[in-house]
């Protein structure tokens, strides 16, 4: 083996033990008090959170004709997304959607780490919203810590009551909004608050309310650290060129306090003043200076806090930044690496297939089933007769009149209904027979096409089949 070449295992990111002292994160006394910070990445995360929340809250109220624009009607087994209506027969689209989500997860995690967790994950978005209300009612980090340690008083009672009431209100709105994607929003709110809703609506309303209240209000980082599977398998997708929140140890060490006018080099110190603000603003409570840790959700809060300190100390920004392990080691990151390109090509291919299927989604569909008991039969008139069962699916929003014909057979006779009425969403089953004079057939098996057309001529569908004779 060439001593200049390192084995594949040596190229992996080394695992670092951040803190050998176990911390019971389930103990309320060890709860994390997140300090408020401001900066570029905090503003980006906050604005994205509000945009996601606005979309979530407003989508069920957008009208589309006589219904709401987005409605997943489980009772009627159809999903409405603006002009598109997806039926159970089209659920292959859902499979492609899941595959797209999976490969998008692989691609963006390999490229940008846990950026989904920090900026768009509902758990993070709702947690930051709950923290925002907590700061407005109970005060800044130090005030919240003192309030929790103080004995019960009127000040503590009303602040705690107001905070938890706000949390429950947000949770209830979240719950009803989520249910509104599956039940018409206008009917839901009217029935819910007038006591006319079903027991199922009240059950799921209570369930999602307390789930949101518990996850974003109490469990918070516990969900990210101990319950979310993404946090566990993300390391499989990381490599030395994955963009992570990283601390430049070569520049920051040795860390220690000093005055603004003191020269850190003369004191034998690096740029880190050991203020611990990066730890105080972290929603999962880790110290990013200990290296890459699976608990980091790439939210960038510690970057904003550190940059603010660097500006005050007249140092250069970027002691903590979005970087890669290769850059931290003094190398140059590679973007176009095979794994990332492979994920990107797979994601593009799946998206193209999904888009094609979406664009070719037919509003009507016809399936043909041949009689399996008898390939053909000769009737009393001496004609060769084949029996078929036609299944017509009307995926439009109204009742349609359809006319049926068959192409590919000379001078054939259609035995059965040739004009049918199919209601919206109905699968209409129609048994028919097609008969032909055997002297007009040139071969034992003839390819034919069943043609379905609406009465107004706007809708049509075809289905291939075969006509079998005794030749």
pLDDT digits (tens, 9 = 90+) for 23-75: 554 454 468 899 999 999 999 999 998 898 999 999 999 998 888 999 998 88
Per-residue pLDDT, 26: 46
- Supply φ then ψ for residue 152, to 5 degrees: -65, 130
Residue 7 DSSP code: P
Cα 169 to Cα 166, 276, 348, 424, distances in angstroms: 5, 34, 41, 39
Least confident interval from 13-22, 98-107, 168-177, 235-244: 13-22
Is pLDDT at 20 greater than 50 in this prediction? no
Per-residue pLDDT, 29: 46
Q: Which of 419, 375, 423, 374 is nearest to 397 (CA)?
A: 423
- The continuous run of DSSP H or E covering 68 comes out as strand 67-68
Per-residue pLDDT, 227: 86
Per-residue pLDDT, 124: 92
Is pLDDT at 7 greater than 80 in this prediction? no
Token pair 């209601």 is at which residue? 423
Those residues with Cβ within 8 angstroms of residue 422's Cβ, 6 or more apart along the chain or in another chain: 392, 393, 394, 399, 400, 402, 428
The tens digit of pLDDT for each residue in 296-318 reads 999 999 999 999 999 999 999 99
Is pLDDT at 9 greater than 50 in this prediction? no
Is pLDDT at 5 greater than 80 in this prediction? no
What mean pLDDT is predicted for residues 215-232? 87
Structure tokens at 90: 């089209």
Structure tokens at 61: 């109220």
Q: How far apart are CA 340 and CA 343, in angstroms?
A: 5
Per-residue pLDDT, 442: 85
- b or e along 384-407 (b: 16 or more beta carbons within 10 Å of the residue's beta carbon)? bbbbbebebbbbbeeebebebebe
The total of other beta-carbon atoms located within 10 Å of residue 77's CB is 12
DSSP notation for 16-38:
----SS---TTSGGG---PPP--
Q: How far apart are CA 183 and CA 457, in angstroms?
A: 34
Structure tokens at 183: 């039940």
Q: Which of 206, 145, 150 is nearest to 174 (CA)?
A: 206
Per-residue pLDDT, 293: 87
The tens digit of pLDDT for each residue in 107-158 reads 999 999 999 999 999 999 999 999 999 999 999 999 999 999 999 999 999 9
Q: Which residues pair with 366 in a beta bridge?
A: 392
Q: Which residues pair with 266 in a beta bridge?
A: none
Q: Which residues pair with 212 in a beta bridge?
A: none
Q: What is the mean pLDDT of the chain?
A: 89
Per-residue pLDDT, 387: 95
The total of other beta-carbon atoms located within 10 Å of residue 344's CB is 17
SS (H, E, C) 71-138: EEECCCCEEEECCEEECHHHCHHHHHHHHHHHHHHHHHHHHHCCHHHHHCCHHHHHHHHHHHHHHHHH
In the structure, what pLDDT confidence band is assigned to residue 12 with cuts at 50, 70 and 90? Answer: low
Determine contact, residues 303/39, Cβ cutoff 8 Å: yes
User: Sheet of 84-86: strands edge to edge?
Assistant: 70-73, 78-81, 84-86
Q: Between 122-138 and 40-58, two packed helices, what is the crossing angle to 10 degrees?
A: 110
Per-residue pLDDT, 148: 93
Is pLDDT at 247 greater than 70 in this prediction? yes
Least confident interval from 1-15, 45-59, 332-346: 1-15
Is pLDDT at 221 greater than 90 in this prediction? no
Best-predicted range by mean pLDDT among 32-36, 98-102, 105-109, 173-177?
173-177
Burial of 372 (0-12, 13-18, 19+ CB in 10 A): exposed
Q: Which CATH class is domain 364-468?
A: mainly beta
pLDDT above 90 coverage of the chain, percent: 68
Where do the domains of the chain lie?
12-236+338-350, 243-325, 364-468
In the structure, what pLDDT confidence band is assigned to residue 16 with cuts at 50, 70 and 90? Answer: low
Per-residue pLDDT, 66: 83
What mean pLDDT is predicted for residues 75-81? 85
In the structure, what pLDDT confidence band is assigned to residue 1 with cuts at 50, 70 and 90? Answer: very low
- Specify the pTM: 0.81
Is pLDDT at 471 greater than 70 in this prediction? no
Tell me the Cα Rg of the chain: 32
Of 424 and 276, the structure prediction assigns the larger pLDDT to 276
Determine contact, residues 403/390, Cβ cutoff 8 Å: no
The tens digit of pLDDT for each residue in 402-418 reads 999 999 998 899 999 99
Is pLDDT at 289 greater than 70 in this prediction? yes
């Amino acid at each position: 083996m060439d001593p200049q070449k390192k084995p594949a295992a040596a190229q992996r990111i080394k695992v670092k033990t951040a803190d050998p002292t176990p911390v019971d994160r389930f103990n309320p006394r060890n709860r994390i008090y997140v300090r408020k910070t401001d900066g570029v990445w905090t503003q980006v995360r906050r604005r994205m959170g509000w945009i996601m929340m606005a979309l979530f809250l407003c989508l069920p109220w957008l009208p589309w004709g006589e219904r709401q624009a987005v409605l997943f009607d489980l009772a009627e087994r159809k999903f409405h997304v603006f002009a598109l209506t997806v039926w159970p027969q089209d659920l292959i689209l859902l499979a492609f959607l899941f595959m797209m989500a999976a490969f998008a997860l692989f691609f963006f995690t390999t490229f940008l780490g846990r950026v989904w967790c920090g900026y768009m994950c509902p758990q993070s978005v709702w947690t930051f919203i709950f923290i925002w209300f907590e700061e407005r009612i109970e005060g800044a980090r130090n005030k919240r810590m003192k309030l929790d340690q103080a004995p019960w008083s009127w000040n503590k009672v009303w602040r705690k009551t107001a905070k938890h009431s706000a949390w429950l209100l947000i949770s209830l709105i979240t719950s009803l909004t989520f249910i509104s994607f599956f039940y018409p929003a206008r009917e839901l709110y009217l029935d819910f608050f007038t006591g006319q809703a079903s027991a199922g609506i009240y059950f799921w309303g209570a369930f999602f309310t307390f789930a949101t209240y518990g996850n974003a209000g109490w469990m918070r980082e516990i969900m990210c650290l101990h319950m979310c599977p993404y946090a566990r398998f993300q390391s499989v997708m990381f490599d030395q060129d994955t963009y992570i929140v990283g601390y430049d140890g070569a520049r920051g060490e040795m860390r220690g306090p000093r005055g603004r006018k003191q020269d850190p080099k003369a004191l034998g110190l690096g740029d880190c003043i050991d203020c611990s603000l990066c730890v105080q603003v972290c929603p999962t409570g880790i110290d990013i200076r200990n290296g890459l840790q699976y608990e980091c959700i790439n939210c960038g809060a510690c970057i904003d806090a550190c940059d603010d300190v660097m500006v005050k100390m007249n140092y250069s920004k970027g002691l903590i930044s979005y970087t890669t392990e290769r850059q931290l080691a003094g190398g140059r990151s590679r973007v176009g690496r095979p794994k990332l390109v492979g994920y990107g090509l797979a994601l593009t291919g799946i998206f193209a297939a999904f888009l094609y299927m979406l664009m070719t989604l037919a509003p009507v569909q016809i399936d043909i089933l041949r009689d399996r008991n008898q390939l053909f039969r000769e009737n009393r008139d001496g004609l060769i007769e084949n029996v078929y069962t036609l299944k017509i699916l009307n995926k439009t929003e109204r009742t349609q009149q359809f006319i049926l014909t068959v192409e590919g057979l000379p001078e054939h006779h259609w035995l059965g209904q040739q004009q049918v009425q199919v209601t919206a969403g109905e699968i209409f089953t129609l048994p028919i027979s097609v008969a032909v004079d055997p002297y007009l057939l040139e071969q034992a098996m003839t390819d034919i096409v069943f043609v379905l057309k609406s009465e107004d001529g706007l809708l049509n569908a075809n289905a291939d089949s075969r006509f079998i004779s005794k030749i």
